[in-house]
């Protein structure tokens, strides 16, 4: 069975049971290219439903929305927040138009749910109308702006929790390997002796620094522009609503939200999202470095560095029997490279904002959500399937710690750079080693 909905561009046929309407259908038909829908972003759907719920409550308290309609909208929003209707969100998240398709998809779903609760018919939009009631006192640019930031804040906290586990695993490994001597390398050449533990300690501190910076940038997204409507002026939102809506949104979300210092700035500039993206890219660069190090240190088993043994999680080759590859670190490297690529996309969205409104904000925000989600999943697997189970190849590490360059370093500490340099010029390696064994007393 079908129903028909009309707008200024004609009539659209829709299945009777769907909760979205003509505006959603047109956006899905005209603007889809990514192969994804909003249903892939349940955190954003939940956050936007909370924005709509807060707006309904604030409009009701301000005397601009009848209580019965406001309560029906709130109940409908709560169903959406719980994920009961994610399949109804069919708009491509990367559509043009500054996010209006996402906003109208939510408005139509909520309106139809609310009307069902009030014994109305889906598609009739009475007594609850998507634009007049669900979207009352809002615009796409402040409703979706706010929802995107709520979603990033929540997902960002999940990523930070995963990174805390990874840091703890690195610190544990530092302690476990603190007494395992090996050789260090600079410019991919032999360096001075040290322990494996110090390298893992460096990893832990590098990740701590990056997570601290990431946490600051994520926290900044608690500053939102709800009530600013299109360009930050607040035109179309009554004063009584604007005075109430942020406090109500705090009630609904449980977040410590605040208004941006200048709502005109918020409409024009998305550098707060771009800052989170940049931090995610820097974090990815650090993770890539760590993952590549582990690949090198575990290379072998006979012709490589061979200082570490990584957990074997699956067969490494369809050609070499018994070959085990560092597939988990390699997965993290690819994740990091993908995130770095998406960061360039986000920075481009910032740069391409024009005049009074950055219409690419949704494009940037959904890419940031993708970056966070990928890093959360990849770092969690890296912790559980790789770092926790790393073991030292003690025999190989002992062998490397007793090689020639560490002997030279020990002699330099006793006789100075110039003297040891002269010996290396005049004497054979065996003669220099004999001096080391005689004077330093290490075999």
> Cα–Cα distance between 46 and 52 in angstroms, integer?
10
Among the options 34, 175, 233, 317, which is catalytic? 317
The token pair that represents 19 in the structure block: 């909760």
The token pair that represents 412 in the structure block: 């330099």
> Cα–Cα distance between 27 and 21 in angstroms, integer?
10
Cβ within 8 Å of residue 183, ≥6 positions away: 190, 191, 192, 193, 194, 400, 401, 403, 405, 406
Residue 181 bridge partners (DSSP): 195
The token pair that represents 23 in the structure block: 């505006």
Cβ within 8 Å of residue 30, ≥6 positions away: none
Angle (CA) 151-335-92 rounded to 5° is 45
CA-closest candidate to residue 244, choices 61, 72, 78: 61
Residue 120 vs residues 124, 185, 287: alpha-carbon distances, Å: 7, 73, 54
Integer-rounded Cα Rg, in Å, for the chain is 29
User: Does residue 317 have an active-site annotation?
Assistant: yes
| Residues classed as catalytic | 317
């Amino acid at each position: 069975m079908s129903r028909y909905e009309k707008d200024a561009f004609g009539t659209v046929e829709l299945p009777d049971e769907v909760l979205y309407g003509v505006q959603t259908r047109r956006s899905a038909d005209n603007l889809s290219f990514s192969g994804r829908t909003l249903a892939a972003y349940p955190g954003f759907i939940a956050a936007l439903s909370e924005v709509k719920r807060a707006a309904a409550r604030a409009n009701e308290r301000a005397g601009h929305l009848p209580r019965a309609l406001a309560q029906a909208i709130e109940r409908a929003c709560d169903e959406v927040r719980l994920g009961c209707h994610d399949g109804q969100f069919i708009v491509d998240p990367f559509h043009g138009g500054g996010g209006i398709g996402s906003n109208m998809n939510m408005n139509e779903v909520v309106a139809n749910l609310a009307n069902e609760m009030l014994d109305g018919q889906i598609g009739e939009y009475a007594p609850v109308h998507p634009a007049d009631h669900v979207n009352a006192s809002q615009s796409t640019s402040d409703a979706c702006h706010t929802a995107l930031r709520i979603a990033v804040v929540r997902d960002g906290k999940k990523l930070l929790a995963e990174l805390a586990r990874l840091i703890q695993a690195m610190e544990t490994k530092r302690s476990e390997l603190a007494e395992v001597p090996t050789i260090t390398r600079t410019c991919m050449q032999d360096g001075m002796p040290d322990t494996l533990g110090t390298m893992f300690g460096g990893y832990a501190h590098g990740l701590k620094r990056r997570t601290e910076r990431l946490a600051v940038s994520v926290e900044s997204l608690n500053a939102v522009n709800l009530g600013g409507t299109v360009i930050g002026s607040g035109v179309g939102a009554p004063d009584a609503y604007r005075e109430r809506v942020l406090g109500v949104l705090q009630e609904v979300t449980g977040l410590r939200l605040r208004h941006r210092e200048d709502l005109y700035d918020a409409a024009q500039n998305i550098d707060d999202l771009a800052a989170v993206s940049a931090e995610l890219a820097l974090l990815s660069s650090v993770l890539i470095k760590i993952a590549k190090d582990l690949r090198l240190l575990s290379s072998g088993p006979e012709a490589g560095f061979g200082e570490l043994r990584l957990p074997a999680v699956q067969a490494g080759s369809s050609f070499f029997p018994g070959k085990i590859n560092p597939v988990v670190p390699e997965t993290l490297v690819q994740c990091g490279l993908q995130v770095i690529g998406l960061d360039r996309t986000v920075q481009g969205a910032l740069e391409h904002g024009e005049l009074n409104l950055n219409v690419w904000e949704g494009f940037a925000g959904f890419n940031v959500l993708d970056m966070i989600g990928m890093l959360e999943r990849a770092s969690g697997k890296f912790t559980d399937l790789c770092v926790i189970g790393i073991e030292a190849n003690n025999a190989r590490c002992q062998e490397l710690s007793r090689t020639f360059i560490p002997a030279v370093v020990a002699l330099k500490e006793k006789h100075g750079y110039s003297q040891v340099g002269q010996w290396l010029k005049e004497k054979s390696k065996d003669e220099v080693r004999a001096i080391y064994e005689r004077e330093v007393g290490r075999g």
